Amino acid sequence: MDILALNCGSSSVKYQLFDWTRKEVIAVGMVERVTVGDSYIIHEVPGRETYREEYECPDHTTAIHLILKVLTSKEYGVVSDMSEISAVGHRVVHGGEKFTCSVKIDNNVLDAIKDVQHLAPLHNPPNIAGIEAAQANLPDVPHIAIFDTAFHQTMPQHAFTYPVPYEWYEKHGVRRYGFHGTSHLYVSKRASVLLGKAPKDCNIITMHIGNGVSHSAIKGGISVDTSMGLTPLEGAVMGTRCGDIDPAIPAFIQEREGLTPKEIDTVLNKKSGVYGVTGKYTDRRDIIEAAEGGCERSALALDIEAYRLKKYIGSYFAALGRLDAVVFTAGVGEMGWLIREKALEGLAPLGIILDKEKNRNTMTRKRETMITTQDSPIKVFVIPTDEELVFTEDVVAILEGTYTDHMNFKYSFAESTFQRK
């Protein structure tokens, strides 16, 4: 049984094909520059050379058709025809309060996703376009929605409610939702295994740090707080997003600079974060190199990001009351030893004792590593995330009728015998 996982962005479609029988990835890739011109596909199969093809994709339907064409190609493909694909799992960024777990997509589900797309106008529309395109290309297989927000629907009301007029929540759904749920789910379950405890016995802070950044406070295996809010703009410093700022700043700058609300929104989402501070970089490797070369603004960007990370660790420690572990994941979290070191510096009084040598030698996306000393009361792990495996297991369980929700479902990666391939 082969499961196709799709992650549709506004101008890209990422995919992974997973052989459930052999429990391994058989192909992974991405179509870039969808809808914007000069589009192309990068297709990777274990043991083969990477394949790249230029192919104009003016819409997501064409992009998904291209993916299926490559997957079934005699020369580059991995399946003989589309009938070997048993189901498709779709990442959906925002499910609002309607969805607390993954679901099979029917017309009612698709309508409900459309009803909340105003809460994620940059993300849900391409997610919806991807679902409809995949349904058009693969009309005879089940399609499953996996929601970024579902994992965080366990937050208590005092954690998700904003101190603004309550009718904003009642009328418009203004509340904290949180994102990167599948990543936080995966690495928190893996951390429980590394701790030798059941998830219900663990308090963990998970730190997903890439271009987008979010953190989660996980108590007894469930999310009780998270840094992103109504949208993915709130929270930590990110590649191009500002994260937490004084809410009066947008109105102030709008008036001073004569900008429209849409222009302000663009600045906060696409021209802020470490890019806003450095004026040119989003990739932390470039920022570190520039800082080492004497660029003061790049050094400042690193210090700002690490300082904010440290503050989130402290605040979530206070919210949890007891802490077993901190987990770093995603591109920067897995590779950025310097940012981890800066964020964890001075936290020994909390019980976090960093092994600097281990931390500096941990720059891989393939291995789970503890970067604190053996006697550190609180452990810190670097755990490569695997959101697509969550997609796949949810899809298979829904097909087999064994799926419940992330709190009760038995994921393979939550078992001590699990081995990452």
HEC profile of the chain: CEEEEEEECCCEEEEEEEECCCCEEEEEEEEECCCCCCCEEEEECCCCCCEEEECCCCCHHHHHHHHHHHHCCCCCCCCCCHHHEEEEEEEECCCCCCCCCCEECCHHHHHHHHHCHHHCCCCHHHHHHHHHHHHHHCCCCCEEEEECCHHHHHCCHHHHCCCCCHHHHHHHCCCCCCCCHHHHHHHHHHHHHHHCCCHHHCEEEEEEECCCEEEEEEECCEEEEECCCCCCCCCCCCCCCCCCCCCCHHHHHHHHHCCCHHHHHHHHHHCCHHHHHHCCCCCHHHHHHHHHCCCHHHHHHHHHHHHHHHHHHHHHHHHHCCCCEEEEEHHHHHHCHHHHHHHHCCCHHHCCCECHHHHHCCCCCCCCEECECCCCCCEEEECCCCHHHHHHHHHHHHHHCCCCCCCCCCCHHHCCCCCCC
Which of these is catalytic: 148, 324, 386, 394? 148
Contact partners, residue 246, CB within 8 Å, separation at least 6? none
Whether residue 394 lies in the annotated active site: no
The label of the residue with tokens 């083969």 reads: 48
Active site residues: 148
